[in-house]
Chain A
Amino acid sequence: MSSQARRCYDLLLRLLPPEFRQRWAADMADVLEARLDGASGPLGRTAVWFRAILDVAVFALRERLVGSRRAASVANPSLPALAIQDFKYAARTLLRSPGFTLVAIATLAVGVGASTATYSVVYPVLLEAPPYPDAEQLVVIWPEANLNRTAVGMAQDDMASLSRVSGLSNWSLTLTGTGDPIEITATLVSPQHFELLGVSPLLGRTFVAEHEIPANAGVVVLSYDFWVRAFGADPDILGQVIDLAGADHERREIIGVMPLDFRPIDASTEVWVPLQGDPTLALEEDTSWYVNTRIGRLAPGVDLEQANAEIRAHAQAVRDRIPSIIDAETAQSATVAPLSQHRARGIGNALWVALGAVFMVLLIACANLANLLLARGEARHHELAVRAALGAGRGRIGRLVLAETLLLGAMGGGLGVATAFGLVELLVSQAPADFPAIADVAVSTPVLGAALGATLLATVLAGLAPVLKASRADAAAALAGAARGATGSQRARLGTALIGVQVGLAVVVTVGSGLMLRSLGELLAVNPGLDPQGVVAFRPSPPAGRYPDGIAMRAYYDRVTEQVASLPGVESVGAIHLLPGTTSNWSFPTYPEGVEIPEGTAVPSVNFRATRLGYFRTVRIPLLAGRLLKETDHADSELVVLVNSALANHFWPGEDPLGKELRIFSRTNDPARVVGVVGNVRQHRRDMDPLPEMYYPHAQVSWNQLTMSITARFDDDEPLRRAGELRQAVWAVDADVPISDMQELSEVLATSTRPTRFLALLLSGFASISLALGAFGVFGVTSYTVGRRKSEFGVRLALGSSRFGLGAAAMGRSLLPVAVGLAGGIAGAVAASRLLESVLYGVGATDLATLVGVTLLLGMVAIAATLVPAWRASRVDPVAVLNAD
């Protein structure tokens, strides 16, 4: 059982009398833990939680009310004994109307469960302080541009307001030499990183200043999860040396393991390695242009404003040294922001939208419940009057109805709590892996309390109306039916108003969901620039030292591609060092021929990929001009490069890019000649325009130990079926080379749309709930109205009205508040969906098609919900009705 679940159960156990709790809490927790362990899937665990809540709640209620069984006397029943009697009676009454009871409980459960679950997911990202000591002093420096290690040191020197600064850079590395290779996410950090965050390791130590020097930098710190996953939580891990392959093979000594509850700045980090470099290099000479985040800790007594004043001076100082790094505008807009904003970057708005939407679902649930209870109260008016006439005191009648309401609240609330646990588990399983703070997502107890409180309040208030009426009832008048007209019309007005509110809120939520679904559709329709169907990708990672130089390494990959190409059904084979769709990126400062980089603008950073022969044909990236790579592009021939059309248009608009030269890192490096232009590929995210990119031949890049992802196209729709043959082909070349990440290229590309899918799923869930609750509401009110006007319909039929006309009149009366709700809802949706603008792609926040579609959908649902009651209205038997009256 997780510590969070344990805490929740402990809170629940507080309902029990202290003495009982003290004696049995540990045993009860053990029983729950065993059951949770034995339950399969989220549904099974939800059922276990439901039983546990029911067990404790029923027992606590019994204990509190009865105290000791021996105290109760039958002859002179005490108040608790009376209460038990009331609850038993209420339970029987509720069982007699199972439809009403189920709908009311389900409404409560959905309201409490959905709102608690969503808030629980959003809370750690948006509202909770990052989990570090004195977190309010932690800041992030914006903009998050590519900088180098020396710039991090400069920020530290220039800014007295920051006591420490750390640079961060994310890399994908491969752990080899410990069985199957494992792809891991590493973060390069400054030595003072952990000290800055105020955290200590669980085992060993973290980095010190000397680790920044390349000769001493062969160290690594592991995350707790990675220590468990890759090394089985080996307590003697410190001092072991592991092989991490990235651009090069690096032997690193494990010097520390972070504790279980430590949360990395980037949630997916599994290991940390020091950001290393020659400390004597000047800013201009340092080529480590991959530091993309800088965080800092405010010095004691310093506030954000002081730091912000300094950051602009610092940015200007960097710009003064190398004008090409930061442009004037960026220097002026540099900011120091609370670290919490770093966590929510990119998805903050989407999460606020989700939170707003679920709040509306809660309101709809409350309105629906109030409507249900009001209708039921009205229906029971007559019964309660009979009870009063037979001598039941006001208090007694009031207690009866209140007991019923409380029982409903307790059951719905209990199921809501169980739903919240199940939904949180579902949401966590569906969330993208890099969703921030996903490890901290757990059912939030305060919110659970607030949601329970809100729905219980709605239940009790709605329940109270008939209680008050029942206890004030003039029995004779009620029995004669005279009171029905007056109270009925009040109730009808209130019910109608609630319907309007429900429909309005449902429109807002459904429009949000519709926009997200359309956005997702647009994203999926975007041509990624290549054809991933039928392509398998995998990464053979030769262990360190096996192919010590570039010639041997490239020869190995030559033989692997030959072997794979010889398999039956393989149409073509290629290789690239970073697959499209992955979050890793290599981007270097690039100097294009004939392009003057004006004073005050930064040297453009261009995406870099090393590729092998056959890659473009395999993934079907079209050649637009010139040629593809050839066998003759080897290490000793002229340096060549392929560029995408975005690069060609960016640097040489209207000119022929073929034959032009590019230099990377420095304007004095050897140039590479552009020999071909290929189509654009959306490398990371489909919602972003393609970036300028260059493809260098593997044979001509200087990183000798660069590992490549092999891509193979099969004449087969399910190419992964051939995984076994692929492995055999690779091992036929060298049986000691491990293979990792064997997957279909379409799967790799799909990860980039997961955040949009997640939000679309969330909002669609809310929209479905809103629609269902809205439909229930309209149905309930129309049924009620028809029931109340039965005698009127009977008279009208007797006087010659048509049955169709009566049905239409019944529908029309219910659809009026629906129409008002629709109009109000559309206005609300137009205002609210502006919040969504930043997460939408290819569709405007006020998309007419979505607004019209949602209006039609809700209109149809409302009409459908009134059909049955309207039909009933048209079937009224005038003789029976008139006789009854």
Chain B
Amino acid sequence: MDSAQITTYLPLHPLEFRILLALAGGPNYGARIVRHVEEHELHGGKLYPANLFRRIRDLLERELLEECEGPEDADARRTYLRMTHLGEEVALAEAARLEALLGDARDLDLVRGR
């Protein structure tokens, strides 16, 4: 997929980007994604889970995520998820976009503690 097509997915909603980050380490399931986002991104703050699962559903529909097999001892009720190749590219593009944005902010002395 060329970069012009990928930019049609940008910007990502912050929560969608956080979900992709939570899956960067490999496949995982819903409740663990919630915990990961709360621990790493919200520093112990609390998400509204239904809202997060709606975002996951949207990401699945846009084929940035896909369902996959869980580990052998996985609970059958769980849906395991992983990033698709497209998802990885979009995540990379979103990270680059944010970095560029941050660079602009730095140039304008809007970032403290450089």
Interface of A with B (CB < 8 Å)?
A: 16, 20, 23-24, 26-28, 30-32, 34-35, 51, 54-56, 58-60, 63
Supposing A26-B75, A26-B78 touch, asked if A34 and B35 sit within 8 A by C-beta, the answer is yes
CA distance A69 to B78 in the complex (A): 26
Supposing A24-B53, A59-B54 touch, asked if A31 and B79 sit within 8 A by C-beta, the answer is no
B50 touches A28 (CB 8 A): yes
Overall SS of chain B's interface: helix
Overall SS of chain A's interface: helix
B56: chain A residues within 8 A (beta carbon): 24
B79: contacting residue among A24, A30, A32, A51, CB under 8 A: A24
B79: chain A residues within 8 A (beta carbon): 23-24, 27
B77 touches A26 (CB 8 A): yes
CA distance A35 to B75 in the complex (A): 20
B49 touches A20 (CB 8 A): no
Q: What sequence of 0s and 1s flags, for each residue 16-31 of chain B, a beta carbon within 8 Å of any chain A beta carbon?
A: 0000000000000111
B77 touches A55 (CB 8 A): no
CA distance A467 to B71 in the complex (A): 57
B51 touches A31 (CB 8 A): no
CA distance A856 to B54 in the complex (A): 57
Known: A26-B30, A60-B50. 8 other contacts (CB 8 A): A23-B53, A23-B79, A24-B49, A24-B53, A26-B77, A32-B49, A55-B50, A58-B48
Any A CB within 8 A of the CB of B46: yes
Q: What is the chain B residue whose CB lies nearest that of A48?
A: B46
CA distance A607 to B27 in the complex (A): 71
B57 touches A51 (CB 8 A): no
**Closest CB-CB distance, A447 to chain B, in whole Å?**
25
Which B3-52 residues have C-beta < 8 A from chain A? 29-31, 34-35, 46, 48-51
CA distance A876 to B48 in the complex (A): 50
**Residue in A32, A35, A55 whose Cβ sees the most chain B Cβ within 10 Å:** A55
B48: chain A residues within 8 A (beta carbon): 51, 54-55, 58-59
Supposing A51-B48, A55-B50, A59-B51 touch, asked if A27 and B78 sit within 8 A by C-beta, the answer is yes
A27: contacting residue among B30, B46, B51, B54, CB under 8 A: B30
User: Top 6 nearest A-B pairs by Cβ distance?
Assistant: A27-B30, A59-B50, A30-B31, A26-B77, A55-B48, A27-B31
A27 touches B50 (CB 8 A): no
B30 touches A55 (CB 8 A): no
A28 touches B75 (CB 8 A): no
A26: chain B residues within 8 A (beta carbon): 30-31, 75, 77-78
B31 touches A31 (CB 8 A): yes
A51 touches B77 (CB 8 A): no
CA distance A32 to B31 in the complex (A): 10
B53 touches A27 (CB 8 A): yes
CA distance A222 to B98 in the complex (A): 64
Interface of B with A (CB < 8 Å)?
A: 29-31, 34-35, 46, 48-51, 53-54, 56-57, 75, 77-79
CA distance A60 to B54 in the complex (A): 11
**Closest CB-CB distance, A659 to chain B, in whole Å?**
78
B50 touches A16 (CB 8 A): yes
B57: chain A residues within 8 A (beta carbon): 20, 23
B46: contacting residue among A30, A35, A56, A58, CB under 8 A: A35
**Closest CB-CB distance, A229 to chain B, in whole Å?**
30
A-B pairs under 8 A by CB, number: 57
CA distance A205 to B8 in the complex (A): 69
Selected A-B contacts with CB under 8 Å, 7 pairs? A24-B30, A27-B34, A28-B49, A28-B50, A31-B35, A59-B48, A63-B54
**Residue in A28, A31, A51, A60 whose Cβ sees the most chain B Cβ within 10 Å:** A31
B75 touches A31 (CB 8 A): no
CA distance A837 to B14 in the complex (A): 64
CA distance A31 to B48 in the complex (A): 10
A35: chain B residues within 8 A (beta carbon): 46
A51: contacting residue among B35, B46, B75, B78, CB under 8 A: B46
CA distance A24 to B30 in the complex (A): 7
B78 touches A28 (CB 8 A): no
A31 touches B34 (CB 8 A): yes
**Closest CB-CB distance, A565 to chain B, in whole Å?**
57
B78: chain A residues within 8 A (beta carbon): 26-27
CA distance A23 to B29 in the complex (A): 11
B46: chain A residues within 8 A (beta carbon): 35, 51
A16: chain B residues within 8 A (beta carbon): 50
**Closest CB-CB distance, B27 to chain A, in whole Å?**
14
B35 touches A27 (CB 8 A): no
A55: chain B residues within 8 A (beta carbon): 48-51
CA distance A63 to B56 in the complex (A): 15
CA distance A20 to B48 in the complex (A): 15
B29: chain A residues within 8 A (beta carbon): 27
A63: chain B residues within 8 A (beta carbon): 54
Q: What is the chain B residue whose CB lies nearest that of A54?
A: B48
CA distance A58 to B54 in the complex (A): 12
**Closest CB-CB distance, A437 to chain B, in whole Å?**
33
**Closest CB-CB distance, A804 to chain B, in whole Å?**
55
A32: chain B residues within 8 A (beta carbon): 49
**Closest CB-CB distance, A805 to chain B, in whole Å?**
57
A31: chain B residues within 8 A (beta carbon): 31, 34-35, 49
CA distance A58 to B51 in the complex (A): 9
Q: What is the chain A residue whose CB lies nearest that of B79?
A: A23
CA distance A35 to B38 in the complex (A): 12
CA distance A55 to B51 in the complex (A): 7
**Closest CB-CB distance, A86 to chain B, in whole Å?**
21
**Closest CB-CB distance, A51 to chain B, in whole Å?**
7
**Closest CB-CB distance, B86 to chain A, in whole Å?**
19
CA distance A59 to B30 in the complex (A): 17
CA distance A34 to B31 in the complex (A): 10
A28 touches B53 (CB 8 A): yes
Q: What is the chain A residue whose CB lies nearest that of B34?
A: A31
**Closest CB-CB distance, B54 to chain A, in whole Å?**
6
Supposing A23-B79, A27-B29 touch, asked if A56 and B50 sit within 8 A by C-beta, the answer is yes
Q: What is the chain B residue whose CB lies nearest that of A47?
A: B46
A27: chain B residues within 8 A (beta carbon): 29-31, 34, 49, 53, 78-79
A34: chain B residues within 8 A (beta carbon): 31, 35
**Closest CB-CB distance, B5 to chain A, in whole Å?**
18
CA distance A59 to B29 in the complex (A): 20
CA distance A60 to B51 in the complex (A): 10
**Closest CB-CB distance, A37 to chain B, in whole Å?**
13
A23: chain B residues within 8 A (beta carbon): 53, 57, 79
CA distance A30 to B49 in the complex (A): 10
Q: What is the chain A residue whose CB lies nearest that of B38?
A: A31
B34: chain A residues within 8 A (beta carbon): 27, 31
Q: What is the chain B residue whose CB lies nearest that of A69?
A: B58
CA distance A634 to B48 in the complex (A): 74
B53: contacting residue among A20, A51, A58, A60, CB under 8 A: A20
Q: What is the chain A residue whose CB lies nearest that of B60?
A: A23
CA distance A32 to B53 in the complex (A): 14
B77: chain A residues within 8 A (beta carbon): 26
CA distance A51 to B47 in the complex (A): 10
CA distance A677 to B49 in the complex (A): 72
B51: chain A residues within 8 A (beta carbon): 55, 59
**Closest CB-CB distance, B104 to chain A, in whole Å?**
30
CA distance A59 to B79 in the complex (A): 20
A58: chain B residues within 8 A (beta carbon): 48, 50
Q: What is the chain B residue whose CB lies nearest that of A52?
A: B49
**Closest CB-CB distance, A701 to chain B, in whole Å?**
61
**Closest CB-CB distance, B63 to chain A, in whole Å?**
15
CA distance A51 to B38 in the complex (A): 15
CA distance A587 to B109 in the complex (A): 89
**Closest CB-CB distance, A34 to chain B, in whole Å?**
7
A20: chain B residues within 8 A (beta carbon): 53-54, 57
CA distance A59 to B55 in the complex (A): 11
A60: chain B residues within 8 A (beta carbon): 50
CA distance A56 to B69 in the complex (A): 28
Q: What is the chain B residue whose CB lies nearest that of A35?
A: B46
CA distance A26 to B80 in the complex (A): 12
A30: chain B residues within 8 A (beta carbon): 30-31
Q: What is the chain B residue whose CB lies nearest that of A28?
A: B49
